A and B are shown apart, each in its own frame.
Chain A
Amino acid sequence: SAVISQKPSRDICQRGTSLTIQCQVDSQVTMMFWYRQQPGQSLTLIATANQGSEATYESGFVIDKFPISRPNLTFSTLTVSNMSPEDSSIYLCSVWSNEKLFFGSGTQLSVL
């Protein structure tokens, strides 16, 4: 199974600032994803992080707001830019490995 380390685990940020979340996997994986879980809501896919190319964003999510990097097959970052209170959520990194989707422990973000 893939072991995912995600950090920070939580943060409290001021509106207008940006936060970068890191995701490290203990093995090389082709498919890496970022999900969001808003308070009281289900998980929603933000984007697929592609190694060596631009991320693929789902409807309702744009690169300017959620820039993603994927420099290699074991690491990715998600930045939440120009934050507002509506961005307060849990952000989850996930990877597809051995025909399963594994999740990181999540980053709980609160924007004041």
Chain B
Amino acid sequence: AQRVTQPEKLLSVFKGAPVELKCNYSYSGSPELFWYVQYSRQRLQLLLRHISRESIKGFTADLNKGETSFHLKKPFAQEEDSAMYYCAVAGGTSYGKLTFGQGTILTVHP
């Protein structure tokens, strides 16, 4: 069965500091990994997916198959990055069927 672990429920950093949100997954096969973000009073939205290898709002995430990790990183955190972040994995061909982690609340202090 698929599983996603986000070990930190809360993460606090100061503005300008680097930030890393951890995500580990278990999946037997070739997973598709995502990071979703929910800002205050907004709906859940896609931040990035590993297959795109893109950087969104300064965030990047590298898939490490050896460590089964997909950590989200940003070199210089901004106050507007404060939000709930979910890591998710999809398997097979049905990308809409995601298994989500517990989420990490990121707070960036001024």
Interface residues of A (CB under 8 A from B): 31-33, 41-45, 48, 92, 94-96, 99-106
Task: Determine the interface band of chain B, counting residues with CB < 8 A from chain A.
Answer: 10 to 19
Closest beta carbon of chain A to B83's beta carbon, Å: 14
Given contacts A42-B86, A42-B102, contact A99 B95 (CB under 8 A): yes
A103 touches B95 (CB 8 A): no
Given contacts A103-B43, A103-B45, A106-B43, contact A42 B101 (CB under 8 A): yes
B97 touches A48 (CB 8 A): yes
Q: B17 near A: Cβ within 8 Å?
A: no
Give the residues in chain B near A105, CB-CB below 8 Å.
43
Given contacts A42-B86, A42-B102, contact A31 B43 (CB under 8 A): no
Closest beta carbon of chain A to B3's beta carbon, Å: 11
B98 touches A45 (CB 8 A): yes
Given contacts A31-B94, A96-B95, A99-B95, contact A42 B43 (CB under 8 A): no
Q: Which residues of chain B in 39-53 are interfacial with respect to chain A, using CB atoms and an 8 Å cutoff?
A: 43-46, 49
Q: B31 near A: Cβ within 8 Å?
A: no
Give the residues in chain B near A45, CB-CB below 8 Å.
97-99
Looking at A48, A99, A104, A106, the one whose CB has the most chain B CB atoms below 10 A away is A99
CA gap between A102 and B34 in the complex, in Å: 12
For residue A41, which residue of chain B has the nearest CB?
A: B102
A31 touches B96 (CB 8 A): yes
Give the residues in chain B near A41, CB-CB below 8 Å.
102
For residue A96, which residue of chain B has the nearest CB?
A: B96
CA gap between A94 and B49 in the complex, in Å: 17
For residue A104, which residue of chain B has the nearest CB?
A: B43
Q: List 19 A-B contacts (CB under 8 A).
A: A32-B96, A33-B96, A41-B102, A42-B102, A43-B44, A43-B100, A45-B99, A48-B94, A48-B97, A95-B96, A96-B96, A101-B34, A101-B95, A101-B98, A102-B45, A103-B44, A103-B45, A104-B43, A106-B43
Q: Hey, what's the 0/1 contact readout for B70-110 against A, CB within 8 Å counting as 1?
A: 00000000000000001000000011111111110000000
Closest beta carbon of chain B to A104's beta carbon, Å: 7
Give the residues in chain A near B34, CB-CB below 8 Å.
101
